[in-house]
Amino acid sequence: MRIETRGLSFEVAEGGPPGGPPVLLLHGFPTNRHAWAGVTPLLTAAGLRTFAVDQRGYSPGARPSGVDAYRQAECVADAVAFVDELAGGRADVVGHDFGAFVAWQLAAAHPERVRSLTAVSVPHPAAFAHALLTDADQQRRSSYIDLFRTVGKAEHVLTRDGGAGLRTVLAGVGDQVEVFAAPLLEPGALTAALNWYRALVIEELAKVGPVERPTTYVWGDRDVAVGQVAATGAGDHVTGDYRFLPLPGVDHWITERQPEVLAQAILTRIADAS
């Protein structure tokens, strides 16, 4: 399905029984709504109504020009619109990677729209910002961001040799590499996705407030992009019921690598928030 909101058109994969409790699923870079393909059948089997959205830059009809169009405030405003138009104003929210950043901020700034939060891989923005500014390990893990923020160079590195660089980034997703790589190799798509990095302001992340909604944070301890300092600091920014679920031996691609474990964490969080 497709929804029109905020002057843009977003692709949505919906599932589950009409009228079931709504769950909004937000993907990260460089994936898309199909990142949740292994998770949603388990959620819908439990009676939930799922909405996995291609966020701005990833939906062909939601690809505004200019870096400022990809500021976190714009992405969060999209999420507010998704909750209002798809879920009737309130939903259980799940986000991975950049989608987690958006989900954390949605819960912090608009708690009335979030019944529960499950964040995957990426911690509360303020915890991430603190680690990035103070922890040498996190600085090393995040060094790739400088490349992704460099206009032209990042596109060249990721698309040369038919997109070999992009496929290398996606190597951990298993047999879904082409599901994610092919759409980003279409004209304009990769630049739009990279604009999320180019619009990122660490000082703004540091100012994101606490989350009062029931929250679970799922993190793989082999995540090359998010270290222990950032991960363990997430709970300092949650005032509601909080569960930290570290997954030993698991990397960044939790949605693809551990869909059953993730689905159970989501279902448990939703049940506990009842």
Q: Mind listing the pLDDT tens digit for each residue in 125-145?
A: 999 999 999 999 999 999 999
pLDDT at 232 over 80: yes
Does the pTM surpass 0.95? The reply is yes
Residue 184 has a pLDDT of 97
Residue 201 has a pLDDT of 96
Place of tokens 């009676």: 47
Residue 274 has a pLDDT of 76
- Using alpha carbons, list the distances in angstroms from residue 269 to 23, 49, 272: 12, 16, 5
pLDDT at 160 over 80: yes
What is the per-residue pLDDT across 32-83, written as a single tens digit (0 to 9) for each? 999 999 999 999 999 999 999 999 999 999 999 999 999 999 999 999 999 9
Mean pLDDT score of the chain: 97
Q: Residue 229's pLDDT band (boundaries 50, 70, 90)?
A: very high
Can you list the domains of the chain with their CATH numbers?
2-272 (3.40.50.1820)
- Alpha helices by DSSP H, the chain: 40-45, 72-87, 98-109, 125-134, 136-141, 144-148, 153-169, 177-184, 189-198, 202-206, 228-233, 254-257, 259-272
pLDDT at 104 over 80: yes
Place of tokens 């009335």: 112
Exposed/middle/buried for residue 193 (C-beta within 10 Å: 0-12, 13-18, 19+): buried
Tokens of 139: 């600085």
- Using alpha carbons, list the distances in angstroms from residue 132 to 146, 226, 244, 271: 13, 10, 20, 34
Q: Residue 261's pLDDT band (boundaries 50, 70, 90)?
A: very high
Place of tokens 């089997």: 45
- Residue 101 CA to residue 71 CA, distance in Å, equals 12
Place of tokens 């910002």: 129
